[in-house]
A = this chain, B = another copy of it.
Amino acid sequence: MIKLLICDDHAVVRSGLSMLLHGRNGIEVIGEASEGDEAIELAEKLKPDVILMDLSMPHGKDGMTATTELKKLMPEIAVLILTMHDDEEYLFRAIQIGASGYILKNAPHDELISAIQSVASGDAYLYPTATKRLMGEYLDRVRNGGDTATPYDSLSDREREILSWLAKGYSNKEVAESLFISVKTVESHRSKLMDKLGLKTRPELIKFALKKGLLDFE
């Protein structure tokens, strides 16, 4: 019996998944969480074999962060990312933080079941496009020594922070005041980060931030 914990911020989705999966194909849904912290708590209590983790959870801890912490605390639990984001960035980040699988919400449900079974037995599961992307990325790295990475990764924490403020439309001055640093410093970070990312204009910056999911507000 595979003990499964479901984490998704939408109650309807949780109920639906639970109904869909529980008691079939050797799967037993032992708990539901609506955000990351609850998932971690329940995982410690219930010791599931697999956690089905949504990424976007506006309230509470998001799926990426929760997965990161989970893999530190309980590396034996397999985390299967279930998301609507068909996005390279998310995919690669998920792999890097130790997720065992990545599947889209628009996958047919027998694929979801086989994904759960795969990760439960220690294997990995990626949806087909993801596999293709991973292979492409792998080939890229092999070909030119692995220094491509994502330019985003080359940013320092501070630069990422500045980036997110700027992308939201704050002026240099406003960012400076919010972070208690001088305008000059903001400008300096800005020019460096735009250099690193190869961005030349503000629209490019906003577009980039949009893809990265940096435009959250509140």
Q: How large is the interface on A (under 10, 10 to 19, 20 to 34, 35 or more residues)?
A: 35 or more
**A159 contacts chain B at the CB level, 8 A cutoff:** no
How far is it, in angstroms, between the C-alpha of A108 and the C-alpha of B19 when the chains are bound? 14
Please, what's the 1-or-0 string for A1-29, where 1 marks a CB less than 8 Å from any CB in chain B?
Answer: 00000000111110111011000000000
**A100 contacts chain B at the CB level, 8 A cutoff:** no
* CB-nearest residue of chain B to A34: B106
Q: What residues on B are CB-neighbors of A112 within 8 Å?
A: 12
Flag if A105 contacts B10 (CB, 8 Å): yes
Given A10-B84, A171-B202, A201-B169, A109 contacting B15 (CB threshold 8 A): yes
**A168 contacts chain B at the CB level, 8 A cutoff:** yes
Flag if A11 contacts B170 (CB, 8 Å): no
Measured CB to CB, the closest approach of chain B to A4, in angstroms, equals 14
Flag if B16 contacts A202 (CB, 8 Å): no
**A82 contacts chain B at the CB level, 8 A cutoff:** yes
Q: What residues on B are CB-neighbors of A168 within 8 Å?
A: 203, 206-207
Flag if B11 contacts A108 (CB, 8 Å): yes
Q: What residues on B are CB-neighbors of A202 within 8 Å?
A: 169-171
Please, what's the 1-or-0 string for A191-212, where 1 marks a CB less than 8 Å from any CB in chain B?
Answer: 0000000000111111100100
**A215 contacts chain B at the CB level, 8 A cutoff:** yes
How far is it, in angstroms, between the C-alpha of A29 and the C-alpha of B107 when the chains are bound? 20
Q: What are 14 sample pairs from A and B whose C-beta atoms fall under 8 A apart?
A: A11-B109, A12-B105, A12-B109, A12-B112, A15-B109, A168-B207, A169-B169, A169-B202, A170-B201, A170-B203, A174-B201, A174-B203, A203-B217, A206-B206
Apart from A19-B19, A169-B205, list 16 A-B contacts with CB within 8 A.
Answer: A10-B104, A11-B105, A12-B106, A12-B108, A13-B16, A16-B16, A16-B109, A168-B203, A168-B207, A169-B201, A169-B202, A169-B203, A169-B204, A170-B202, A206-B215, A210-B215
